[in-house]
Homo-oligomer: A and B are copies of this chain.
């Protein structure tokens, strides 16, 4: 990925999209969220959701997957241009996860990430800290997921 110094508040990127098929939704739910409205069309029709829909944790985990793929593609492009690639550090966590609307079988979610703030780390001078707003909208443009994450990103080496 880019180095910390190359990020600026306000920049926003589309990281990718994923269509949540019924089999995909059920496979995740069997392993991690076996509630009837994530497992079975008929049970879901009788639930408050009204139709088969993805676990919120599935929608969130797919963000992670697309973010990793996006960064990998960016890194390959950087290396092909002979540029240095920065290391992404551990995530201290995130906040304000919201699932404002269900993701139904067949929905396509487009994910994006916006830089809200950049801050040097006092305790870890080799890292900077990014605050990101991560969002997903369905094919109608309706928000289905949003959360704020923080991430450590490598800084450029100071000139000697």
User: Within 8 Å of chain B (Cβ to Cβ): is A32?
Assistant: yes
Given A35-B68, A64-B32, does the pair A92, B96 have CB atoms closer than 8 Å? Answer: no
Which B-chain residue is minimally distant from A94 (CB atoms)? B97
What's the tally of chain A residues with a CB closer than 8 Å to chain B? 29
Quick check: A62 and B98 within 8 Å, CB to CB?
no
CB distance from A10 to the nearest CB of B (A): 24
Given A33-B61, A64-B57, A68-B33, does the pair A96, B93 have CB atoms closer than 8 Å? Answer: yes
User: Within 8 Å of chain B (Cβ to Cβ): is A135?
Assistant: no
Measured CA separation A86–B103 after assembly (Å): 24
Which B-chain residue is minimally distant from A98 (CB atoms)? B93
Given A57-B57, A57-B60, A60-B57, does the pair A32, B94 have CB atoms closer than 8 Å? Answer: no
Which B-chain residue is minimally distant from A27 (CB atoms)? B31
